[in-house]
Chain A
Amino acid sequence: DIQMTQSPSSLSASVGDRVTITCRASQSISSYLNWYQQKPGKVPKPLIYTASSLQSGVPSRFSGSGSGTDFTLTISSLQPEDFATYYCQQSHSPPFTFGPGTRVEIK
């Protein structure tokens, strides 16, 4: 199985801050990397697929990059509605594993 790790596990940031979350795969997954946002008590929402493609309707302040084993999700200017937990997920090969999540909290 491909193991996914994320760092940090949580962070505190202020509105307007630039936020970067890192995801690492235990082996190369090319660009088969997706990001999801989940707010408390809500359904995970797809944000980015194929490492850097923005899902329809997702604000352009979200961006993704990386390939191989190292990936990044960046929020260029954090907004109040962005406080949530973010998960990466590999779609290179089953089982389709998720990272443990990064919780973004208000400073």
Chain B
Amino acid sequence: QLQLQESGPGLVRPSETLSLTCTVSGGSISSHSYFWSWIRQPPGKGLEWIGSVYYTGNTYYSPSFKSRVTISVDTSKNQFSLKLNSVTAADTAVYYCARRWIAVAEEDHFDSWGQGTLVTVSP
């Protein structure tokens, strides 16, 4: 059964870089059928898509983050990662990694999610 697990620091200082890794187990990150995504949820608020990466390294990002986000993939480790630069308190959120099914265009959706990790931005 597929599992996604986020890892990384739970506390980041303002202006620094938030770095998270998602480890995929029970399936290959190199599948043609999926994009791998980061989604976040500030405390008490809704869900916000950050960006996605394909196993080839192709990426696309939300314009809201494009200037300060990098998502990368390491197929040898079955992992993908998020880096968000110049963080502020507004970046405090639960960060989820998720798998996005793309094999059939009309069925495009986030079909598997990690447990999420809370990242707090604070001095």
Which A residues are within 8 Å of any B CB, using their own CB? Answer: 1, 30-32, 34, 36, 43-46, 49-50, 53, 55, 87, 89, 91, 94-101
Contacts and interface: CB of A to CB of B under 8 A. Distances in A.
A95 B111 contact: no
Interface of B: 46-49, 52, 60, 62-64, 96, 101, 106-111, 113-116
23 contacts: A32-B108, A34-B109, A36-B110, A43-B113, A43-B116, A44-B47, A44-B96, A44-B113, A46-B111, A49-B108, A49-B109, A50-B109, A87-B47, A91-B108, A91-B109, A94-B60, A95-B63, A95-B64, A96-B49, A98-B46, A98-B47, A98-B48, A101-B46
Contacts of A49: 101, 107-109, 111
Contact of B107 (A43, A53, A94, A100): A53
A61 B108 CA distance: 23
B110 A34 contact: yes
A97 B49 contact: yes
Nearest to B106: A50
Given A95-B63, A95-B64, A97-B49, A89 B109 contact: yes
Nearest to B101: A49
Nearest to B114: A43
B49 A50 contact: no
Contacts of A97: 49
A31 B106 contact: yes
A95 B49 contact: yes
A89 B108 CA distance: 10
Ranked nearest first, the 3 interchain pairs of A and B with the lowest CB-CB distance are: A91-B108, A95-B62, A49-B109
B46, B101, B109, B111 — most chain A CB neighbours (10 Å): B109
Given A1-B63, A94-B62, A95-B63, A46 B109 contact: yes
